[in-house]
Amino acid sequence: MTDFAQTKALFDLPEGVIYLDGNSLGPLPSAAPAAMQKVMHDEWGKMLITGWNKAGWMAQPARVGDRIARLIGAEPGHVVMGDTLSIKLYQALASALEMRPDRRVVLSDSGNFPSDLYMAQGLLKSLGRDYELRVVPPEDVAAHITDEIAVLMLTEVDYRTGRLHDMRALTEAAHAAGALTVWDLAHTAGATEVQLAENKADFAVGCTYKYLNGGPGAPAFIYVAPRHADTARPALSGWLGHEAPFAFDLDYRPGAGIERMRVGTPPVLALAALETSLDIWDLTTMSEIRAASQSLTALFIEEVENRCPDLALATPRDPAQRGSQVSFRFENGYAAMQALIARGVIGDFRAPDIMRFGVTPLYIDAADVRAAAETLEDVMKNRLWDDPAYQTRAAVT
């Protein structure tokens, strides 16, 4: 059994703050700064170029990928780190599309994170040849899986509402129609008990700065199912995905398996910070996290609904259908969220009217959830959003 009081103590959480935004940027693991010092002084500083061998930097993307594989139900040796989520999404989609050369439609939904849609638009425009990105409402996805579809590209958990897609059913339907799947796990990894291998996902990508607490701009990951790993062509064919990077051949030959999805030089410092967070993840299992998360999100919904009648729940009430966040709609949501943040409860806002709260059992407990609901009640009952100071939009909302 995970001792969540123990894991909470391993984060550096500011005094007096309840942090319900770990679905956007996870907090600092207390061990991360010292670990980073060590990497900077003892590896970069002392080993210099020899760190690629001596400190294992070259193997770091696969080593870290394996630690993430456990959290997303992937086969060991089939996840590798690097780049950003947008880049990894592009890479996965480009590979998947080539595996269905006779089809031209990418199916996605309007609950997908916009960057995924943008990257797909950019790729399809480059490909030309009548490619189409078909975007339907999340609830209509299943009905649109036809034999026209080359790739079903979805984010499993809706970044605004927290609605969780049924990965197993949709993947099955896609396969039955002859399509491949690209799953974005941005709000899944570290949040729900996803089973990539069991659900027969084809490609998956995700980021590590949200629930996985890797730090601002931490690297992304990509998963390719073993049955595709040695045949998928990486459109982003960089030297570190080459069969023999240090032969410096003029022609590209893809490396074995997931290694071919590497592109350029790995972000060693950022991966080092992420590794300290994965040490905390090693203390738990996703099934325990999922159970705790469902209980905490249910508690938060109950507390807020009892205290704040003006907020409309945007997240599915059925715990099996939501990720690890709770969202409420409120027309003055932006200002209300600023008022809440000023009182030490940090959530965030997503246009047009969503107040969003991430629930992260590693460092958020029932007492935090109750206290957050109380503070939110104070904001709502006293119409604190009326203060003009809370209405000026910041650059990043």
Q: How far apart are CA 70 and CA 281, in angstroms?
A: 10
CA distances from 101 to 105, 178, 184, 375 (A): 11, 12, 22, 54
C-alpha distances in angstroms, 232 versus 122, 381, 382?
Answer: 20, 56, 57
Using only C-alpha atoms, what is the Rg of the chain? 21
Contact status: 25 vs its own copies (CB under 8 A): yes
How many residues bind its own copies (CB under 8 A)? The answer is: 96
Considering only 154, 270, 304, 336, the residue that binds its own copies (CB under 8 A) is: 270
Token representation of residue 54: 């001596």
- Please choose, out of 165-173, 242-250, 292-300, 305-313, the segment that lies near its own copies by the rule CB under 8 A: 242-250
Minimum distance from residue 322 beta carbon to its own copies (Å):
20
Task: State yes or no: residue 9 binds its own copies (CB under 8 A).
Answer: no
First to last CA, the chain: 37
Residues 54-83 that bind its own copies (CB under 8 A): 57-59, 82-83
Catalytic member of 131, 209, 221, 349: 209
Torsions phi, psi of 206, nearest 5?
-170, 170
370 catalytic? Reply is: no
Q: Of 90, 163, 356, 368, which residue is the catalytic one?
A: 356
Q: Does 50 participate in binding its own copies (rule CB under 8 A)?
A: yes
Q: What span, in angstroms and rounded, lies between the C-alpha atoms of 15 and 38?
A: 27
209 has catalytic annotation: yes
Question: Between residue 330 and residue 369, which ones bind its own copies under the rule CB under 8 A?
Answer: 341, 346, 348, 350-351
259 in contact with its own copies (CB under 8 A): no
Question: Is 184 one of the annotated active-site residues of the chain?
Answer: yes
Using DSSP's 3-state secondary structure scheme, residue 29 falls into strand
231 near its own copies (CB under 8 A): no
- Give the other-Cβ count within 10 Å of 385's Cβ: 21
Tell whether residue 117 is a contact of its own copies (CB under 8 A): yes
At residue 135's C-alpha, the angle toward residues 347 and 150, to 5°, is 120
| Interface characters, 365-394, with its own copies (x: CB under 8 A) | -----------------------------x
251 is an interface residue for its own copies by CB under 8 A: yes
Contact flag: residue 122 with its own copies (CB under 8 A): yes
Q: Is 113 a catalytic residue?
A: yes
Strand intervals (E) in 281-360: 312-313, 325-329, 345-346, 348-350, 354-358
Q: Which is nearer to its own copies, 233 or 317 (CB)?
A: 233
Residue closer to its own copies (CB basis): 247 or 389: 247
Residue reference for tokens 């999922």: 290
Q: Choose the stretch contacting its own copies; rule: CB under 8 A; options: 222-230, 248-256, 287-295, 366-374.
A: 248-256
Nearer to its own copies, 109 or 156 (CB): 109
Place of tokens 């062509």: 233
Q: What is the DSSP letter of 193?
A: -
Q: Is 304 near its own copies (CB under 8 A)? A: no
How many C-beta atoms lie closer than 10 Å to residue 41's C-beta? Answer: 10
**CA–CA dist 111, 339 (Å, integer):** 27
**Of residues 261 and 286, the one with the C-beta less far from its own copies:** 261
| CB nearer its own copies, residue 51 or residue 73 | 51
Catalytic residue at 163?
no
d(CA 231, CA 306): 54
Contact between 137 and its own copies by CB under 8 A: the answer reads no
Figure out which of the listed residues 10, 32, 174, 340 binds its own copies, where binding follows CB under 8 A: 32
Hey, which residues are catalytic here?
Answer: 113, 184, 209-210, 356
